[in-house]
Amino acid sequence: MVEEAEPRFFVPNPIQAGVGFDVAEQIKLIWDVIKTPLIVPLLNLAVYICLAMSLMLFFERLYMGVVIILVKLFWKKPEQRYKYEPIQDDAELGSSNFPVVLVQIPMFNEREVYKVSIGAACGLSWPSDRLVIQVLDDSTDPTIKQMVEHECQRWANKGINITYQIRENRTGYKAGALKEGLKRSYVKHCEYVAIFDADFRPEPDFLRRAIPFLEGNPDLALVQARWRFVNADECLLTRMQEMSLDYHFTVEQEVGSATHAFFGFNGTAGVWRIAAINEAGGWKDRTTVEDMDLAVRASLRGWKFLYLGDLQAKSELPSTLRAFRFQQHRWSCGPANLFRKMVMEIVRNKKVRFWKKVYVIYSFFFVRKIIAHMVTFFFYCVVLPLTILVPEVQVPIWGAVYIPSIVTILNSVGTPRSIHLLFYWILFENVMSLHRTKATFIGLLEAGRANEWVVTEKLGDSVNKNKADAAKNKTNVIKPTKKPRLKISERFHLLELGFAAFLFVCGCYDFVHGKNNYFVYLFLQTITFSIVGFGYVGTIV
């Protein structure tokens, strides 16, 4: 009986065939062998997963768009929805009808902004005997520490109740400083704590507008204000950040406040009820988003939050790519790591309603903090370009064009003045999605940089002041403050440059062999990856 021969794959050897060794031919032959049984099914699966994530993001954006329209058209204003009565000055009672408020200003080597932040806090229109200001200075530079202490002493000599507080170490970073500040004996007389980062400048009436909501509504733990950016027009990088953050404040925070009375505390420009902080377990440094951590824990104990879009505090955006990348790493890694730590605690919680749990787990964490980064990167920077090299895999037009276009339009409502920058904003967000996706995986896996904390560099008014001075005196051009020169390794970002090369190859292939004209998008995306890769985005005005 003749045995049936087993099928085998034979890869011909060009040298034995009498021709020169051609590496390209060998690679092509191997590619043809593995493409149909392996590459095509895997890429099809990736397309289906990305389309599913795109639909999740699309319905999330659509839901928030519908809710924000209803809020703007039909919802009552916060003063009508909540018990609200302004605290009036009383000649007979004096200041006794004002609650004692603690103001905390955490700092770390804030040479450029310490004066304006301390000055803004000391300028709050609140009775001086009912206001306690803490400057929590974790600076490592002795000169800066001396300058900050001197500024505190200057205001103390004017009758302001301000204390300068330092620690022996930076354990817990910002969370550790805030926690240490609440341990002081005089804090037991304070009912509320207002927190302002070193670059934030609240208006004088900030407390008078925020505190009455907490006074009249004992179930409210937090009143969050909106950020306004003093340097949004400094360069293209700050304009891009303004577009992203305006959507966050105009839509995400407003929707969370109106529907579930929950949103993530932004870490600054907010007023907390100290009793709520204590009941939630106080500040914890287990992630780099200690503010979000506290907000979730307080919410699980039944406390409610209020966002006031018309209550604003001036602040500063990172104006260098290096500072922005560190900030985005922290903002992407921290929520993913917190989700890993708290998801089961949220599921098991019995104090909040089922639908609020769904909102926190699915909408707040899963879609916005994880899916939004991953689908942007994997779909538009990896999977879609790969389908050009594998024409057997098709991406439906609704997934490649229609859905991302609608999502982009919905994202643009927060900053109508920058609508002309929308296309470049899309390209820039796609590039940053690489950095955010990497940080998200680090947080989910709790890998090496999961707890990395780098304080965002602030330049204060130095740039704007120099521009104004130069405009007044055009004959003497004043050069702006020089930013520190970066090392070559910090200047060039090889991962972004590698993706620029990958997208360029895919674009060239589509230009020659493709049918969908994706090469237009791919070449523009290549340019944007290259700009970020060479570190020039922060210099474009």
Q: What domains are there in the chain, each with its CATH number? A: 83-318 (3.90.550.10)
Task: Sheet containing 201-202: give its strands across.
Answer: 162-166, 131-137, 101-107, 192-195, 270-273, 220-229, 304-315, 201-202
Which residues are the active-site residues? 138, 291
CB crowding 476-510: b at 16 or more within 10 Å, else e: eeeeeeeeeeeeeeeeebeebeebbebbbebbbbb
Q: In which residue ranges of the chain is pLDDT below 50? A: 1-5, 7, 9-12, 14-20, 462-464, 466-484
Query: Residues 141, 271, 305, CA angle at the centre, nearest 5°?
Result: 130
Confidence at residue 290, expressed as pLDDT on a 0 to 100 scale: 95
Q: Look up residue 140 and give its amino acid.
A: T
Q: Look up residue 455 and give its amino acid.
A: V
Q: Which helix (H) or strand (E) holds 134?
A: strand 131-137
Rounded-to-integer distance, Cα 361 and Cα 364, Å? 6
Confidence at residue 467, expressed as pLDDT on a 0 to 100 scale: 45
Confidence at residue 154, expressed as pLDDT on a 0 to 100 scale: 96
Confidence at residue 308, expressed as pLDDT on a 0 to 100 scale: 96
Sign (positive or negative) of CA dihedral 179, 183, 184, 189: positive
Contact between 171 and 201 (Cβ < 8 Å) = no
Residue 53 pairs in a beta bridge with none
Confidence at residue 485, expressed as pLDDT on a 0 to 100 scale: 53
The pTM of the full predicted model, rounded to 2 decimals, is 0.88
Q: Give the SS3 label for residue 76.
A: coil
Q: Which of 241, 244, 262, 242 is nearest to 253 (CA)?
A: 262
Distances (CA, A) of 210 to 190, 217, 251, 277: 16, 12, 20, 17
Q: Which of 318, 392, 309 is nearest to 78 (CA)?
A: 309
Q: Give the SS3 label for residue 458.
A: coil
Rounded-to-integer distance, Cα 350 and Cα 206, Å? 35
Confidence at residue 487, expressed as pLDDT on a 0 to 100 scale: 55
